Amino acid sequence: MSKMIRISENANSTLDDLKTLTGKAKQELLDRAIENFYREYFIKKANNAYENFKKNKDEGGPGVNRLLYELAIYMKNKEIKYLSTEKR
């Protein structure tokens, strides 16, 4: 399901440039940018939670618990059934 949103003229111009350079549709470019932003956000939070865990050794604490909660939501939204580095 598609939704319309407003973006700035600068963002639209950048999308036009990327569309010309890559040959990809603006929607695909936005989808990829949003997914990359979310992954970057999640990795930064994971690193911060882990660093706090190592410093405090608090058996998890609120930072790790929040991170696990967000991971569960992400996995549900992406329909990820398991975490593994193995190829299946």
Q: For position 11, what pLDDT does the model report?
A: 96
Residue 88 lies in a domain: no
> At 33, phi and psi to the nearest 5?
-65, -45
- Domain span at residue 30 reads 9-77
- Per-residue confidence of the chain (88 residues) as pLDDT tens digits? 778 899 999 999 999 999 999 999 999 999 999 988 988 888 888 787 777 777 776 555 566 677 777 777 776 776 655 544 444 4
**Closest C-alpha to 63, from 47, 83, 39:** 47
Residue 82 lies in a domain: no
Whether the full predicted model's pTM is greater than 0.85, yes or no, is no
Q: For position 79, what pLDDT does the model report?
A: 63
Q: For position 7, what pLDDT does the model report?
A: 94
CB burial of residue 67 (10 Å; 0-12, 13-18, 19+): buried
Residue 83 lies in a domain: no
DSSP letters along the chain, please? --------HHHHHHHHHHHHHH---HHHHHHHHHHHHHHHHHHHHHHHHHHHHHHH--TTHHHHHHHHHHHHHHHHHTT-----SS--
Structural domains in the chain (count): 1
